[in-house]
Amino acid sequence: MTDTLELSHWINGERVGGDRPAESTNPSDTREVVARTPDGTASDVDDAVAAAKAAFPSWSEASPEVRSDVLDKASNLLMERKEEVGRLLSREEGKTLPEGIGETARAARILKYFAGEALRLHGQNLASTRPGVEVQTYRQPVGVYGLITPWNFPIAIPAWKAAPALAFGNTVVLKPAGPTPATAEALVAILHEAGLPKGVLNMVIGRGGVGQAIVDHKDVAGVSFTGSQGVGAGVAAGAVKRQARVQLEMGGKNPLIVLDDADLERAVNIALDGSFFATGQRCTASSRLIVQDGIHDKFVALLAEKVAALRVGDALDPNTQMGPAVSEAQMETSYKYVDVARGEGARIVTGGERLKLDKPGWYVQPTLIADTVADMRINNEEVFGPVASTIRVKSYEEALEIANGVEFGLSAGIVTSSLKHARDFQRRAKAGMTMVNLPTAGVDYHVPFGGTKSSSYGAREQGFAAAEFFTTIKTSYSAG
Ligand code: UN1
């Protein structure tokens, strides 16, 4: 288990960059180096963009069947290797092996879905207001896209941005997240193995400077970013300054409402999944559990019992139910917010203490915090770790108001047996995605994904909506 990968950039169909000053480490055992990597520069980005630009004419003009076949083949290869790639993912990111394999399979399915979408790209044919004239709309590829992806879904998110970009005839420069380059590289390598022509998909490994160089590059027509709100704001400003397209997916402070009429066991399991699976490192994680008076105490007690029983450990250990945080910084953020909540007068029901296991890793005790109120920092700032807080409410209306009262609006859930409240919540929750009797996290890959308010900016990702961002519409008039 000590094999260290020696990674390179991918530029114009080749692995380039032999100097490897950077590395990614295993968060479950930080003595282990997963990969050594180059530390990309703006000049590497120039080379990658030049390759993508040169590859664009033939890729965009190829039959959609060519693009579909490559994505389909890559999907099959990735699915065949899901154990191996999933294991690499878990070693590098820290989610459990079933989560790592599950995410890899999801990436393979995303490639498969967009293999189909490549063939379904379509426009409309309308009657003109002028007799004898026809109006048609076409969706056309745009050019070079820059994709800046996060570490928490190190293969699914590169796949869900790259697959539609490629399917619709664009070319790509990808910058994977610093902590997880090896997992992203596995995807890029498989796409090349599947026959992707050189220069169509390039990858530059590096830090923020690489992302900035992509955002600022005059030949990058659009940038799709998933990450923190602070970085996202800079990405948007840079892209808008030169009229590039931009799409941002950022944080969440996702509410899960639990009403008195909910099935207790079910509500607790939904909260457990939404708040703690994948170590709480999902922008869709439930972090505010808004619980009605009548069920509140029973809910907190049973959830605390289940949270305390979660087995935290090495991501590859089959007994582990929750892996470590991805990095020391993420671990420290969780503990910082436990202190913040304590300082605000909240009660730590379980967890919150430093966790030392038999190996050096970024382990965090899953933490449940009760007796919080809506305006505390713990209920407004994203933690991005296995930390959830409960807020006691009297009624559905109060719960909805609190659910909607933050600056984020990604995913919002409710657990109830009342159709009336469920339907009302679907209409009035200020979020891009609503979940009834389901965890706020864990979405399908063939339907639109995105949020409102500070969670997202620009066109939706995924499903039929992906064509919005990765194509441009041409309106054509003709008279006979
Ligand atoms: C999910 O909940 O299944 O970074 C996906 C994130 C999101 C993806 C969540 N963009 O957590």
Per-residue pLDDT of the chain (480 residues; tens, 9 = 90+): 458 999 999 999 999 987 999 999 999 999 999 999 999 999 999 999 999 999 999 999 999 999 999 999 999 999 999 999 999 999 999 999 999 999 999 999 999 999 999 999 999 999 999 999 999 999 999 999 999 999 999 999 999 999 999 999 999 999 999 999 999 999 999 999 999 999 999 999 999 999 999 999 999 999 999 999 999 999 999 999 999 999 999 999 999 999 999 999 999 999 999 999 999 999 999 999 999 999 999 999 999 999 999 999 999 999 999 999 999 999 999 999 999 999 999 999 999 999 999 999 999 999 999 999 999 999 999 999 999 999 999 999 999 999 999 999 999 999 999 999 999 999 999 999 999 999 999 999 999 999 999 999 999 999 999 999 999 999 999 998
Closest CA to 80 of 196, 190, 188: 190
Q: What is the pTM of this model?
A: 0.97
Place of tokens 């407004």: 380
DSSP 8-state symbol, 234: H
Pick 5-250+455-479's CATH classification: 3.40.605.10, 3.30.450.20, 3.90.1150.10, 3.40.710.10.
Answer: 3.40.605.10
Tokens linked to 397:
């209306």
254-436 maps to CATH 3.40.50.300: no
249 is catalytic: yes
Assess contact for 203 and 174: CB atoms under 8 A.
Answer: yes
- Establish whether 283 is a catalytic residue: yes
**End-to-end C-alpha distance for the chain, whole angstroms:** 69
| Helix/strand/coil percentages in the chain, nearest 5 | 40, 25, 35
Question: Most distant CA pair in the chain: distance in Å?
Answer: 79
Measured from CB, residues less than 6 Å from any atom of ligand 1 are 150, 152-153, 226, 249, 282-284, 441-443
One-letter amino acid identity for 72?
D
Cβ contacts of 449-454, under 8 Å, gap ≥ 24: 449/160, 449/249, 450/249, 450/410, 451/249, 451/250, 451/252, 451/408, 451/409, 451/410, 451/411, 452/409, 452/410, 453/407, 453/408, 453/409, 454/229, 454/250, 454/251, 454/407, 454/408, 454/409
| Residue 38 tokens, joined | 């180059």
Burial class (CB in 10 A: 0-12, 13-18, 19+), 195: exposed
Report CA(368)–ligand 1 centroid distance (Å).
Answer: 21
Domain residue extents for the chain: 5-250+455-479, 254-436
CB 237 within 8 A of CB 225: no
Determine phi and psi for 32, rounding to 5 degrees.
-100, 125
Burial 127-155 (b: 16+ CB within 10 A, else e): eeeeeeeeeeeebebbbbbbbbbbbbbbb
Which one of 32, 99, 283, 382 is the catalytic residue? 283
Atom of ligand 1 nearest to the CA of 285: 2
